[in-house]
Amino acid sequence: MYNFKEIEKKWQDFWDKDETYKVEEDDSKEKFYTLVEFPYPSGAGLHVGHVKGQTAVDVFARFKRLKGYNVLNSMGWDAFGLPAENFAIKNKKHPGIFTQENINNFRRQIKSFGPSFDWSREIDTTDPNYYKWTQWIFLQLFEMGLAYEKEAPINWCPSCKTGLANEEVVDGKCERCDSLVEQKNMKQWFLKITDYAEELITDLNDLNWPEYIKTSQKNWIGKSEGAEIDFSVKDSDIKIRVFTTRIDTIFGCTYVVIAPESKILLQLEYKIENKDELNEYLEKIKNKSDLERTDLNKDKSGVKIEGVKAINPFNNEEVDIFIADYVLASYGTGAVMAVPAHDERDFEFAKKYDLEIKTVITKEKDIDNSISCYTEDGHLLNSLEFTGMNSSQARSRMIEFGEGKGFVQRKINYKLRDWLFSRQRYWGEPIPIIKCSSCGNVPLEKSDLPLVLPEVENYEPSGNGESPLANINSWVNVKCPKCGGDAKRETNTMPQWAGSSWYFLRYIDPKNQEELASAENLKKFMPVDIYFGGAEHTTVHLLYSRFWNKALCNKGIVPVSEPYKRRVQHGLILAEDGRKMSKRWGNVINPDDVISEYGADVMRLYIMFMGPYGDTSAWATSGINGISRFVNKVWNLTEKEITEDESDKETLNILHKTIKKVGEDIENISFHTAISQLMILLNHLSVKEKINKELVNIFAKLLSPFTPHLSEELFSLMGGIGSIFKSSWPEYSEDLIKDEKVKIAVQINGKLRDTLEVDFDSEESFVVELAKNSELVKRWIEGKDIIKIIFIKNKLLSIVIKQ
Ligand code: ANZ
Ligand code: ZN
């Protein structure tokens, strides 16, 4: 039996002492930067989902190391965040203490399955030596005009008198007291990610990312090309500007809708005849979220503004104006031309309020086959000189026409909003800004960083929508660095996304006190060559960190504009019962238990074997037992007679095919098929009595990315010196993987009767058997005595029969 407990411990200790996975100083080797999303060290400990990503990155890193690269592969902790803060509130204990306990547990758990991280580069986002640079980057963004303050609504619980994070709002209610949460306007920090919207889309083209991730990012950014059209308000100089992607439907516009929060209302005010009714409506919809407002399935409501009319500039028709909450103030111009015949939301609204529906687009040219609401492109009807054109033609003609008259402008809008960057929370990076009543927002000097989080006694939010930091007068009240007058520190902290937006830069030079990382090292290691992570980060984290990297690149700090060359995402591991693992179901698989029962190598190999890496798969005890048997069978190879004799041709053929396939499969993140091939090879070897020593070595290497402990032991048993990971990946020979076929002439009494195609070097007995079964041969030899058989390997089989 393979004693995994002893052997795994032995090699883990060896790697620690040997610093086997430390990035080498050697510049002759090409670098390879592998990265996996660093975990949030929760109180629950490591999850098998973490193990999946961390094992995958480890397989890849070990493979590249054996291929001769200088690999950078490290680990760290994304450790700011709400759970630690809630723990602090409950236990009156500093969240930092809880966080460190969790980190220690995570580190122990990760180390216990033996991944090849360079632990000398470990980082922790809550370490002042780390967040010093998070704050410094914020100041760069501030200097570049990419960080600004603006009034924006936050979730506000009127009974707790506190701002709430989104996670604390459940079904629109405060998680703690069940009161309805309101939106309260407060000054907040934003990062101008929208400045990079276009670049964030176009630069996706050059990345080796799965198409579906690129598509999600594009959809998230939501580029939309259209036009803005000015509608005049009758008997006034006021214009209502609308944004539309469907200018081709303009002749079907039967009313205009403006968002309830729109500033245009103020301009119109003196004409409005039903102010009370409007105010009542505004009060009613105050607390709806954008999602509820724009949801197609939700009831549309609105109020007609009495006393005003808008004029469609294309046909001078007068139309009514409504306010309705299905139009958002924050998108486009905050106003739309409503075309109920061709837009779902307008259609529902029009039906509810009995408004005119005018068909102007049809599927077939010149035929009014109007369906209730036809939203596709088609051909124009009832549209004056544009009638008969198809939609896309009409769009460009109409825009040109309107541009000429001055009431239309081409416009591109993005769904992407600027990144709300402040939290009314304690456990985050303090924003390094001082607010002075005469100088405004004054950035701290670099020499004043890190701005360390002060200790507080009470972690509860302050009660007026500010962070608990606002209660520490001695910290808050400072002198303005510019004018020396009385000033206050910014008391909001950064969101959890901050620390993870640049951590891949810090691994490159984690101890640097002068810079976030030296230019030389950044040049050497960026970009990340492959980034493993979870599907939940397709948009937010990947987008935010691409944005930071681009901004830093524009500042000349980072040498490449895209941080991640290749991206790979894993599928979920479900529990054995097919459900998601959850404390509630009691079906969570703890890696600690798996390792103590089966060993780290079996766990690693099993998780990599469960199915295609990107697929969801369920844990199966029978599956892991099978892998455990496989590992023991590998171990049993060492009990055979180990020889220096050459392996037979067939064995070499399978071996070299395996070298080729395992290498290619790892490169393509097809771990399960690589492992299947290793199983085929093992089955072939298991029946042999003797086994070639070098072959065992090669087998150990092929298996080593998956089962590093077992492979080290095999390598050392075969006389290898030091770590197997300092050796090199085996090469395959094209010649040996060829399944050569040869043609053999079959003669009977000197006459050619058949030719047989067989494997190169086929044995006599095999070829004779084959010949005897051939119809062409059978009819000559059946019932006859064979006198003699002459066999020339790969060439000839001559049979002499008695006439
Ligand atoms: C008239 C029209 C007719 C429209 C039609 C669509 C179909 P995307 O692709 O999402 O950009 N819209 C514009 N601003 C809006 C706002 N602030 N709140 C809610 N809806 C808004 O969609 C653009 C379309 O969404 C615009 O084109 C506008 O409706 C609506 F047959 O204009 B459309
Ligand atoms: Zn000042």
- Ligand 1 touching residue 312 (CB < 6 A): no
SS3 720: coil
**C-alpha angle 220-224-229 in degrees, rounded to nearest 5:** 145
Instruction: Please spell the DSSP secondary structure of 174-236, one letter per residue.
Output: ETTT-PBPEEEEEEEEEE-GGGGHHHHHHGGGGSB--HHHHHHHHHHHTEEEEEEEEEEETTS
331 CA distance to ligand 1 middle (Å): 9
Question: 12-42 pLDDT, tens per residue?
Answer: 999 999 999 999 988 899 999 999 999 999 9
- Ligand 1 touching residue 336 (CB < 6 A): yes
Question: 555-585 pLDDT, tens per residue?
Answer: 999 999 999 999 999 999 999 999 999 888 8
**For ligand 1, atom 22: residue with the closest CA:** 245
Question: 765-786 pLDDT, tens per residue?
Answer: 999 999 999 999 999 998 889 9
Rounded Cα gap, residues 522 and 563, in angstroms: 11
434 CA distance to ligand 2 middle (Å): 9
**For ligand 1, atom 12: residue with the closest CA:** 336
- Ligand 1 touching residue 411 (CB < 6 A): no
432 CA distance to ligand 2 middle (Å): 15
pLDDT (0 to 100) of residue 370: 64
Ligand 1 pocket test target in 248, 295, 336, 410 with most atoms within 8 Å of CB: 336
577 CA distance to ligand 1 middle (Å): 45
Rounded Cα gap, residues 387 and 615, in angstroms: 50
> How many residues are recorded in the chain?
803
Beta bridge partners of 792: 796
**For ligand 1, atom 8: residue with the closest CA:** 224
535 CA distance to ligand 1 middle (Å): 30
Evaluate whether 189 touches 147 at the Cβ level (below 8 Å). Answer: yes
What are the residues whose beta carbons fall under 8 Å from the beta carbon of 76, sequence distance 6 or more? 38, 121, 122, 123, 124, 125, 503, 506, 507
- Ligand 1 touching residue 416 (CB < 6 A): no
Rg (CA), the chain: 35
| Per-residue tokens: 450 | 């890190």
DSSP state of 533: E
192 CA distance to ligand 1 middle (Å): 24
- Residue 223 neighbours by CB distance under 10 Å: 15
Question: 355-387 pLDDT, tens per residue?
Answer: 999 999 998 876 766 668 999 999 999 999 999
Q: Is the pLDDT of residue 288 over 90?
A: no
**C-alpha angle 268-271-277 in degrees, rounded to nearest 5:** 85
pLDDT (0 to 100) of residue 297: 67
- Residue 594 neighbours by CB distance under 10 Å: 21
Mean pLDDT of 331-344: 96
- Ligand 1 touching residue 391 (CB < 6 A): no
444 CA distance to ligand 2 middle (Å): 12
Rounded Cα gap, residues 607 and 624, in angstroms: 9
| Per-residue tokens: 475 | 């910290």
What are the residues whose beta carbons fall under 8 Å from the beta carbon of 379, sequence distance 6 or more? 361, 362, 363, 364, 365, 366, 388, 389, 390, 391
Query: What is the bridge-based pairing of β-strands 573-574 and 567-570?
Result: unpaired
Evaluate whether 510 touches 516 at the Cβ level (below 8 Å). Answer: no
Query: Which residue, among 706, 524, 712, has the nearest Cα to 18 in the 3D structure?
Result: 712
pLDDT (0 to 100) of residue 89: 82
Q: Is the pLDDT of residue 509 over 90?
A: yes
What atom in ligand 1 is closest to the CA of residue 339? 3
What atom in ligand 1 is closest to the CA of residue 361? 31
Query: What pLDDT band is residue 294 in, cutting at 50, 70 and 90?
Result: low
Backbone angles phi, psi at 246, to 5 degrees: -125, 60
Q: Is the pLDDT of residue 337 over 80?
A: yes
- Ligand 1 touching residue 378 (CB < 6 A): no
Average pLDDT, the chain: 93
pLDDT (0 to 100) of residue 93: 84
Mean pLDDT of 161-186: 78
Mean pLDDT of 266-289: 88
- Ligand 1 touching residue 429 (CB < 6 A): no
- Ligand 1 touching residue 331 (CB < 6 A): yes
Q: What residues have their beta carbon closer than 5 A to ion ligand 2?
A: 436, 438-439, 480, 482-483, 485
What are the start-end ranges of the E strands in 452-518?
A: 477-479, 486-489
442 CA distance to ligand 2 middle (Å): 7
Q: What is the largest CA-CA distance in the chain?
A: 123
What are the residues whose beta carbons fall under 8 Å from the beta carbon of 486, sequence distance 6 or more? 437, 477, 479, 480
- Ligand 1 touching residue 462 (CB < 6 A): no
- Residue 500 neighbours by CB distance under 10 Å: 22
441 CA distance to ligand 1 middle (Å): 37
pLDDT (0 to 100) of residue 553: 98
Query: What is the bridge-based pairing of β-strands 567-570 and 70-72?
Result: unpaired
DSSP state of 665: H
- Ligand 1 touching residue 39 (CB < 6 A): no
Rounded Cα gap, residues 132 and 513, in angstroms: 10
pLDDT (0 to 100) of residue 186: 85
490 CA distance to ligand 2 middle (Å): 14
337 CA distance to ligand 1 middle (Å): 8
**C-alpha angle 295-299-305 in degrees, rounded to nearest 5:** 105
| Per-residue tokens: 166 | 């989104």
DSSP state of 441: E
Looking at the CA of 487, name the nearest ligand: 2
**For ligand 1, atom 19: residue with the closest CA:** 327
Question: 718-739 pLDDT, tens per residue?
Answer: 999 999 999 999 999 988 888 7
- Ligand 1 touching residue 532 (CB < 6 A): no
131 CA distance to ligand 2 middle (Å): 25
- Ligand 1 touching residue 537 (CB < 6 A): no
Query: What pLDDT band is residue 170 in, cutting at 50, 70 and 90?
Result: confident
Question: 226-244 pLDDT, tens per residue?
Answer: 999 999 999 999 999 999 9
- Residue 587 neighbours by CB distance under 10 Å: 16
What atom in ligand 1 is closest to the CA of residue 375? 31
